[in-house]
Amino acid sequence: MKAPTSTAIFGTWVLADAGGGPEVLRDRWVLVEGRRIAAITVDRPSAETILDAPGRFVLPGLLDLHNHGFSEAVARTHTEDGGGRHKVESIVYTVLLPLTRRGIDLLTHEERLAVARLSILQLLKGGAATVMEPFRNGIPEMFEAAEEMGIRFYGAPYLFSTANAKAGADGRVAYAAEAGRSDDGSADLAAWNSLHEKWNGRDEGRIRLAMSPHATDTCGPELLRACAARARELHAPITIHLAQSAGEVETIRSRYNKTPAEYLDSLGLLAPDLLAAHCIASSDSDLALMAARGTTVLNCPRVFARTGKRAVFSRFAGAGVRTAIGTDGYNLDLLGEMNAAAMISKVVEERGDVANAPEIIDAVTRTPAAAIARPDLGTIRPGATADLTVVDLTHPHLQPLHDPRRALVWLANRADIDAVMVDGRLLLAGGRAANIDENAVTTAGTAAIRRIWDLPEAQAAFNS
């Protein structure tokens, strides 16, 4: 990609860190030189590119640490309103994993790349500057698309002990071993290592890998220990799905007589470098354990709201657990997810004062940055990495406006995203992707997903 130059962006409001945590500054310029924020000034600085539109809210580049651009695209508009469920509580093992797997085999390299590009386009247009993306290791195209499109990318290729877990007619998941495959996950660890070798650190560290054992019920103790050891050797973050359904809790109880969190703790995984997605079936004592261990919960409320389930931001945050907000691939709209996290928390707790706007904004800025040990991200201060998200607060639906943080969480939507900068490069400006033909990317990605929808097994999964 083209080397970053210098850019000055005017914010009517700038969420900057003046040393005591984030605060909203009025009428400031953010000067970016190369890949770093150089200064925050009152006077207009000189720079090669000047963005000086009025009414902009300049935020740190938002971080979305849990997304699946491929598997959820397969399910989109098929699985709302109770669709595709067949009395099964979770569609992870009935729809998402098997159809993604078939899709990977069916699609060409160009088609897989098209799906990856479409998801990154959606993420950028939703305001994300960083994404952590767990995906099956047969889609290296996720890395290719991230590299060419400029987003900050933590690719998290899955590791499984049981990669072909399937739900039966009774809704119970069977974890059958595959012919010719060892259940220690060594093949997936080898694949992860070779992807790490190829991709980690590209473009001065913009592209990285996270270790990604899929879930507690699909990964045995031997694999989980090996994952943790390898990740810690490389200082890579570890991410996993944890307590995402009651079925998973039952499975882990019957195998080990532990909760999923206790299972991970017994293997040494529950630690500050672990990012655990969902945790909706965690007990209160699990949350206390996670808080004590410094583990992060990745809260993705809308994918669960789709099925009438609660994933309550304030429950995790209120238990003292570090809690970040992610999109889980559902609609790749971080602003919408923030609104849902705030709204669902208040409704469930029947209190207006929980999950307030500053807390919710922290959950997509400095909280996820801390979770991946990146104090240079999620903050606007001189010397920080130049990742920024700029929101246009001049639209009629945002006026009148007293508090820009509350406006962002309660009134704004993804169509208000004006600019996204990563490493000093403007990837989105004026709400449109720079250097990307949005129509071509959308058409090609959609056509590829439609080929998966046309499969007989997809028709059966969705339509009966």
Q: What mask of x and - would describe binding to Zn ion in positions 312 to 341, judged by CB under 5 A?
A: ----------------x-------------
Structure tokens at 73: 């695209």
The per-residue b/e assignment along 244-272, b for 16 or more CB within 10 angstroms, e otherwise, is bbebbbebbeeeeeebbbbbbbebebbee
Q: Binders of Zn ion: how many residues, by CB under 5 A?
A: 2
Find the shortest distance in angstroms from Cβ 239 to Zn ion.
9
Residue whose CB is less far from Zn ion, 239 or 314: 239
| Cα gap 41→66, rounded to integer Å | 34
Residue whose CB is less far from Zn ion, 141 or 328: 328
Residue whose CB is less far from Zn ion, 341 or 380: 341
Residue whose CB is less far from Zn ion, 100 or 365: 100
Find the shortest distance in angstroms from Cβ 277 to Zn ion.
5
| Cα gap 423→5, rounded to integer Å | 10
Taken in order 271, 277, 278, 281, the sign of the CA dihedral is negative
Q: What mask of x and - would describe binding to Zn ion in positions 64 to 83, judged by CB under 5 A?
A: --------------------
Residue 82's contacts (CB-CB under 8 Å, 6 or more residues apart) are: 307
Residues between 252 and 311 with contacts to Zn ion, criterion CB under 5 A: 277
Distances (CA, A) of 219 to 101, 132, 222, 267, 321: 18, 20, 8, 12, 24
Residue whose CB is less far from Zn ion, 167 or 436: 167
Find the shortest distance in angstroms from Cβ 71 to Zn ion.
8
Find the shortest distance in angstroms from Cβ 160 to Zn ion.
14
Find the shortest distance in angstroms from Cβ 96 to Zn ion.
9
DSSP conformation letters of 301-336? HHHHHTTT----HHHHHHTT-EEEE--TTSS--HHH
Find the shortest distance in angstroms from Cβ 66 to Zn ion.
6
Q: What mask of x and - would describe binding to Zn ion in positions 158 to 177, judged by CB under 5 A?
A: --------------------
Residue whose CB is less far from Zn ion, 51 or 311: 311
Residue 215 is given by DSSP the state B
Find the shortest distance in angstroms from Cβ 251 to Zn ion.
17
Residues between 373 and 392 with contacts to Zn ion, criterion CB under 5 A: none
Residue whose CB is less far from Zn ion, 298 or 428: 298
Apex CA 10: angle with CA 6 and CA 15, to 5°? 105
Task: Confirm if 241 and 278 have CB atoms less than 8 A apart.
Answer: yes
Apex CA 3: angle with CA 334 and CA 204, to 5°? 70
Residues near Zn ion, by CB under 5 A? 277, 328
